[in-house]
Amino acid sequence: MNRLENKVAIITGAATGIGEATAHVFAEQGATTVLADVNKDQVDQVVSEITENGGQAFAYKVDVSDEGSVQSFAEEMKEKYSTIDVLFNNAGVDQQGGKVHEYPIELFDRIVAVDLRGTFLMSKFIIPLMMEKGGSIINNGSMSGHAADLDRSGYNAAKGGIINFTKATAIDYARNGIRVNSVSPGTIETPLIDELVGSKKEEMGEQFRDANKWITPLGRLGKPREMATVALFLASDDSSYVTGEDIKADGGILAYTWPGKMLIEQDEWKKGTE
């Protein structure tokens, strides 16, 4: 069943991780996929893989934090497609910055510019291409937009802003037939995790993964394709009465208040991890 047949879908941050996985899933479901990323070489490779598998995909170099870049991209989309059916605002960056009084201002500005401002700019310039026949916008939030992390206040602020921006946009355009929702991933096995804490082959990376398996009720990290299938649900007509919502896809982390019994009986609890 091609759930996105005859639809044009834009995916930002499509070169790696969740964006790359979503590009493959959307193409498999019949969408014409438009892949936007600052890394043109990498996104070209994703396009090649999709087309080799019989899908339709096109690559564009776009800096979502730059108004001119996004506006030029939107003008190209209007000229080429006239209307857009799906927008997945997935592009984002993350980095630890220390406590708030130590946090570099330029780092805070960069994270907010890419994650939150980028979501705003793409929405602002692509929404006019959806207003004729409606569409679906999916924003990439995070469990870090619902709860806080040590030394990552910039990321927490940006992702929290995305989740509430999603609700505001959903209200603004509901009568235009545009649904707007967000997905909030937990810790997902992506290249971003390698950049933040190290790869599986590095000691710190291995420790981080073991800790996340322990605190996650499902006992493992998430996979990019698992996030892509949530995005597919929100992009398709299967979610036709869903708007203004955030779907947490975090393996159950935000379902508990404190890991009391997990700490007391940790040997037994750890047995369930992969």
Residue 206 placed within a domain: no
Reported as a single tens digit per residue, the pLDDT across 260-271 is 887 788 788 877
Reported as a single tens digit per residue, the pLDDT across 205-225 is 889 898 888 889 999 999 999
* Active-site choice (155, 173, 241, 256): 155
Q: How many domains does the chain have?
A: 1
Q: Determine the Cα–Cα distance for residues 10 and 81; give it in Å rounded to an integer.
A: 11
Of these ranges, 46-55, 199-208, 262-271, the one predicted with the greatest mean pLDDT is 46-55
Residue 3 placed within a domain: no
Tell me the DSSP string of 96-130. ---SGGG--HHHHHHHIIIIIIHHHHHHHHHGGGT
Residue 208 placed within a domain: no
Question: Which of 148-157, 161-170, 203-212 shows the lowest mean pLDDT across its residues?
Answer: 203-212
The structure's pTM equals 0.95
For residues 2, 237, 243, 25, the Cα torsion angle rounded to the nearest 10 degrees is 0
For residues 226, 268, 206, 104, the Cα torsion angle rounded to the nearest 10 degrees is 80
Residue 239, CA distances (Å) to 10, 106, 230, 233, 274 in order: 18, 39, 10, 6, 32
Residue 215 placed within a domain: no
Average pLDDT score over residue span 54-82? 98
Measured distance between the N- and C-terminal CA atoms of the chain, rounded to whole angstroms:
32
Residue 212 placed within a domain: no
Q: Is the pLDDT of residue 175 over 90?
A: yes
- In the sheet with 178-185, reading across from the earlier edge strand, the strands are 56-61, 32-37, 8-12, 86-89, 135-140, 178-185, 246-249
Average pLDDT score over residue span 159-166? 98
Residue 203 placed within a domain: no
Q: Determine the Cα–Cα distance for residues 246 and 179; give it in Å rounded to an integer.
A: 12
The single-letter code of the amino acid at 233 is: F
Is 81 an annotated catalytic residue? Answer: no
Q: Note the pLDDT of residue 268.
A: 80
Q: Note the pLDDT of residue 272.
A: 73
Beta strands in the chain (DSSP E): 8-12, 32-37, 56-61, 86-89, 135-140, 178-185, 246-249
Domain at 150, CATH number: 3.40.50.720
Q: Is the pLDDT of residue 45 over 90?
A: yes
Contact 87, 135 (CB under 8 A): yes
The residue with tokens 């603004």 is 172
Q: Which two tokens stand for residue 120?
A: 């705003």
Confidence of residue 34 (pLDDT cuts 50, 70, 90): very high
Average pLDDT score over residue span 119-145? 98
Tell me the DSSP string of 191-225. HHHHHHH--TTSHHHHHHHHHHHHHSTTSS-B-HH
| Beta carbons within 8 Å of 257's beta carbon, 6+ residues apart | none
Q: Note the pLDDT of residue 274.
A: 67
Of the candidates 224, 212, 209, which has an alpha carbon nearest to the alpha carbon of residue 253? 212
Domain interval for residue 185? 8-190+222-270
Q: Which two tokens stand for residue 148?
A: 């806080």
**pLDDT: which is higher, 115 or 195:** 115
Question: Which of 62-71, 88-97, 161-170, 210-219 shows the lowest mean pLDDT across its residues?
Answer: 210-219
Reported as a single tens digit per residue, the pLDDT across 82-98 is 999 999 999 999 999 99
Residue 202 placed within a domain: no
Q: Is the pLDDT of residue 258 over 70?
A: yes
CA angle 115, 117, 118 (to 5 degrees): 65
Residue 2 placed within a domain: no
Q: Is the pLDDT of residue 195 over 90?
A: no
Q: Note the pLDDT of residue 204.
A: 85
Percent pLDDT > 70 in the chain is 99
Average pLDDT taken over every residue of the chain = 95
